A and B are shown apart, each in its own frame.
Chain A
Amino acid sequence: MPIISFQDVRKTYDHVPVLDQFNLTIEQGEFVVLLGPSGCGKTTILKLINGLLKPDKGVISVHSKALSEWDLIQLRRRIGYVIQQVGLLPHLTIEKNICYTLNLIKASKDDMNKRAKELIDFVGMDESYLKRYPRALSGGQQQRIGVARALASDPDIILMDEPFGAVDEVTRRSLQDEMLKIHQKLGKTIIFVTHDIEEAIKLGTRIVLLNEGRIDRDYNKKSFVLTKERSDYAEHFFGSKDFIAYLNTISISACLNKVMDISSNHKDDYPSINGNLSILQGIQRCIETQHNTLCVVDDQAHQLGYFSINSIYHLL
């Protein structure tokens, strides 16, 4: 049963169609990334899901019920919403910002207090921030609170509109890791809009490439990167960026050769590498050290197995 579906949806701005005959179904628990350049309709799709925009034609269903039959206010309270500008209310403390939706549904003070502590902890921040105001926080911290706020009412669906577009590279990476953790832990359905290819490949279990309101490419992550047939548009959009990003998302320990046909007394001849690093870093190490094979170790320097370029073939 899809959790969200678009059927023949048409949406125009000033008579110019942004989406036309648009179809998309999203299953429970998917982390769908809508990827494309600005103006491709990805934000429009997001805003159609929580009813901030109305389609000119077609049916959008959430939880198998058409939007027209939903009480939009009730529906929105069950959908987390995170935007690039974060949108924390400057006159409210962090605690009240996190509990914004809970306050709307008039949850008890104790519940809100408890939930705020839980969530700020969950997004990796100290409880002392609860009493502060948004302006006292950095952009990255604000967006962590933005994520916490979206989780407050324990929604099944979270919509994210280029949430990490305005934070620096290092903070963005840690926020992305946070999102992966949240997705794995809580099993929410996440619809994530971005124009950043690396971000898309890193986060999505499924990636949808959009071109002027049409779906150009829609696969799960592995097939998305590795399916050979690509449109000219996708070719032009990605070049080799998606592939490199893909190699960057898989850790070396995911493609170990447990047994090697080399005699054990030669094993010290191989350069070692930490298994938590990505395949791309493994390849880099091979080139730097001019070895075909690397000895893979864990954090405690215990040997886990071997890595060679051959060993990634079965993954691809």
Chain B
Amino acid sequence: MQFFYRVLQLYIERWDFFLELLLEHIYLTFIAILLISTIGIILGITMTRNGTLANIIMTIVNFIYTIPSIALFGFFVSITGIGFKSALIALVIYGLLPIIRNTYVGISEVDSFLIESSIGMGTTNFQLLYKVQLPLALPVIFAGFRTMVIMTIALGAIASFIGAGGLGVAIWRGITTYYPEMTFAGSMLVALLAIILDFILGRIEKIIKKKTFGI
């Protein structure tokens, strides 16, 4: 109990420090999420139009996913240096998998008779995408988005190890100065951020599912 009391005290005394880290964290992950979603959905759609390309992209993305995240961050430090840019690139590359895979799978799994009857009624390729495929794949894409958001927030803590700021700074400082309260305080905020966002996104996911499939 003593420990938690000291953590609480730390929050009260250093609230401005934690607030700044939290905002940095949100800023970094928000930009990463934006980039991942844009790139991921575009790649996912492109894959549904070209089977060979789909295999190649899927292999690459799966391969990247097997690299330990800390190694990926280290790798980009040697290319783009220490700081925000390297962290952002690593986060984006790492976060692509769930979005790409879910966009691809979501669109591919739209019933073929829906596609065929839509084409048979005179739907153009573009109309097919935004009137039929994307709306019907939305629940699956959004599930991937939710996974990606939580993952990126958690991974964002490691981004501080390469000097990108964010809540990882508190964790890192706690570890290096043997100050477990500090480590715990930083981790708690990361977890809290992830849990709150997961809850909100979970609600939205339910609404989308209900709108699309009625369940």
**Partner-B contacts on A (CB < 8 A):** 47, 50, 52, 73-79, 81, 83, 85-87, 89-91, 100-101, 104, 133, 135-136, 149, 159
Contacts and interface: CB of A to CB of B under 8 A. Distances in A.
Max chain B CB contacts within 10 Å: which of A77, A79, A89?
A89
A75 B121 CA distance: 9
Given A87-B114, A89-B114, A90-B136, A104 B120 contact: no
B135 interface: yes
A306 B124 CA distance: 59
A89 B114 CA distance: 7
Interface in B122-156: 122-124, 127, 132, 135-136
Given A50-B120, A89-B136, A149-B121, 16 more contacts: A52-B116, A52-B119, A52-B120, A73-B124, A74-B122, A76-B120, A78-B122, A81-B117, A81-B121, A83-B120, A85-B117, A87-B114, A87-B117, A90-B136, A90-B214, A101-B122
Instruction: Please tell me the size bucket of the interface on B.
Output: 20 to 34
B122 A77 contact: yes
15 contacts: A73-B124, A75-B122, A76-B120, A77-B122, A78-B122, A81-B120, A85-B111, A85-B113, A85-B117, A87-B118, A91-B135, A91-B211, A100-B118, A101-B122, A159-B120
Contacts of A81: 117, 120-121
A77 B119 CA distance: 10
B213 interface: yes
Contacts, number: 63
Interface string B141-175: 00000000000000000000000000000000000
A136 B214 CA distance: 9
A56 to B, nearest CB: 20
Contacts of B214: 90, 133, 135-136
Contacts of A78: 122
A303 B135 CA distance: 61
B80 interface: no
B62 interface: no
